Structure 1
């Protein structure tokens, strides 16, 4: 039963009673909340919390005792920590992972969580309404893709709160919040943005030293940075199953500085390296390229600007025999080739210096989409395809990389007809 702080439970004979309640008052009479809920936690230590009414105190007391009995008990004071403090704790746990990924996490947490209203709240006080207000505020500052990444970081912070028994459930997972969260670009494109014919036109328009990049994209499914980091030592020509490419390195930016790094998402514990089949259709133009432009040794730091220097022989490099900088390549090699192929239109320079119309969907990454859809159309299962693309989740591969197959309707009819014919 809740304890009445304002009145003595065992008054002495002759003590005066208060006029309002007709009971003997304590020294706390009329100050603070009257009712105190009392219970013992899982360590059998008494806990207390104050309430305005007896009903509220009794309800809370019952809830706490039930939690102790069924194992779901969480100390009400555990959630007193501020979201910003917990976010920094979560961030510290990622400090020794991939340094570039850590910096992106840090930037998002420090800019869009710590200084916000949600960041200043106690963890236990954050609810769906708080997160909806936060979303509304951040939408005025961030593009949907960036906001989604920040929101994923915030979910991880509240997952930590649940794991540490600070709160019962993650408010980020509330249905109202899920309905309002930034959506992923329409669930994947229905149609390919570059066809095989388009890639042939682009290949023809690229400078000779960069033509084979197209083959590595559409024939191996590599990311741009993985192509730029490809070495002849990564190719096993004598593999028992046929020539294979070991994808174990990429050229990426650490700020404005080029570095070598593990494939996307990789770290020391899980490097995310993978093997991809190299067919003659890709091997022949790759060999021809290396005959014309022999691989050169290029030394770059590993992982970050201050990382240890690593030397690799690169198949693709600039005329100055340096690693290819993606921004430069996209602006001065890829987009001009797109324009010459009639796939984008050149524009007059504006205040931002843009020379081409928006072309995000037809950049080199579209070659990976073409590779993925060709594999599915050719009968490769999604689990194998996800492995070749370096995806941990095959569902992501289906959602983002597999597009509408030309003539799919007739294939459905043939499949059903074959099933019935076989059964008969």
Structure 2
């Protein structure tokens, strides 16, 4: 079996004249016994021969099984690992990346960042979770933070640590799911929210509630996408930021789609265009769908007060300065007393407009398969899973179905 112990102080051979081993030049310097010669394993030194033998046996076994991890690699701190190795390798869209970075730098690194990866255990994690809960964070937010830490440590398994301590606590992991059903606005809330927004942004609510667009799709929408003759909206792109520069790409799933255009939505869009003419902008294009061209020129229906593409994220973005102020004005959230900003409002953000569109369509017994296509879901299964509770009389007709069949 490969591997051996080297005595760094004394020679292996004896002096022919004295019959004793002679001292090497490094005698008395550093640790005496060094374990060498194991494939894929860095040399390790020890002061005591017994310790060297124990480590040699363990390293040989792990090497043979392919399980060996150099313990020195696990001594890197969590902060150093994230900042120099894990985060630089990420390639997330800006909206996702900003939220992720905020949670990691604000809630993980201040409490666990000083710890070596190999020393993070369930005791540290329990104390950390208690600290997060003392901050009155929503359990759903704590769950997202936990998922981020689990993902980070997973990338170190097999290279720097033997196992992920987060997976060892599966029974204790945060669960912010609660009632996970999608929620919709009431008609009065839609009218109130729309009226509370500056008029240049009201068409975003129209596109979300009356066509089910995602926020990025609404901010990239162009009047050129309106097909009055066919009665459809063509959803061809979405607007993203990375990190402070806007770019366009295909909608989620890299697929365009068509959505039926209602007379009410057409009227609202025409009214918006009369007051706020579209703004022509040339923006970078990423990914497929643009004929391999690096840019796309689009007449944007919705822009900022300065005629620029709308930045949704950040402390000065649409969500924080425009949307949440509107929620406050109609009494759906309140300003926070302890810090600057607003109460948690994750379920009250723009995506709820999309949920509202789905609820109305299903409430009027629209075909879920068609709705799945209009909303750009990967499959009808996603639509059923997310919005089944919006279907009227769900399960009621089935109560008597077999009775009626047998009677017939």
Which of these residues, 178, 181, 198, is aligned with residue 186 of structure 1? 178
Deviations 1:121-160 (A, max 9, x none): 2222222222222333333347234444433332232222
Match of 1:218 in 2: 209
Q: How many residues align?
A: 381
Matched, 1:245 2:234: yes
Superimposed CA distance per residue, residues 297-337 of structure 1 (whole angstroms, 9 cap, x where no aligned partner): 3367969xxxx99864233468987767455543666665x
SS at match of 2:71: coil
Q: Which residue of 2 aligns with 1:230?
A: 221
Give 1:373 deviation, angstroms: 4.3
1:298 aligned to which of 279, 284, 294: 279
In the alignment, is the contact (CA less than 8 A) between 1:232 and 1:314 conserved in 2? Answer: yes
Alignment of 1:217-366 (within 5 A): 217-235=208-226, 243-250=232-239, 260-262=246-248, 272-280=253-261, 282=262, 284-294=263-273, 296-298=277-279, 312-316=298-302, 325-327=318-320, 329-330=322-323, 361=347, 364-366=350-352
In structure 2, runs of 5+ residues without a counterpart are 285-293, 311-317
CA distance in 2: counterparts of 1:200 and 1:168, whole angstroms = 52
Contact 2:221 2:302 survives alignment (8 Å): yes
What SS is found at the alignment partner of 1:408? coil
CA distance in 1, matches of 2:309, 2:396: 46
Is 1:171 matched up with 2:165? Answer: yes
Query: What is the TM-score normalised by the length of structure 1?
Result: 0.63
Distance 1:395 1:125 in 2: 42
Tell me what 1:160 maps to: 155
Q: Which residue of 2 aligns with 1:122?
A: 116
1:137 and 2:131 equivalent?
yes
| Correspondence 1:82 to 2:73 | no
Per the alignment, do residues 39 and 204 of structure 1 end up closer, same or farther by CA in structure 2, a change over 3 Å counting? closer
Superposition CA RMSD, Å: 5.5
Task: Quote the Cα distance in structure 2 between the aligned partners of 1:351 and 1:121.
Answer: 30
Matched-pair contact (CA < 8 Å) for 2:214–2:354: yes
Is 1:93 equivalent to 2:89 in the alignment? yes
User: What is the CA–CA distance in structure 1 between the aligned matches of 2:53 and 2:403, rounded to whole Å?
Assistant: 67
- 1:335-365 residue CA offsets vs partner (Å, 9 max, x unmatched): 65x57xxxx69x99989899x9997655543
CA contact (8 A) 2:213 2:354 kept: yes
Contact 1:138 1:147 in 2 (8 A): yes
Inter-CA distance 246–139: structure 2 relative to 1 (3 Å threshold): same
Contact 1:299 1:310 in 2 (8 A): no
Could you say which residue in structure 1 is the equivalent of 2:357?
371
Q: Which residue in 1 is equivalent to 2:65? A: 70
Q: Given that residues 95 and 240 in structure 2 are in contact (C-alpha distance below 8 angstroms), is that contact kept between their aligned partners in structure 1?
A: no
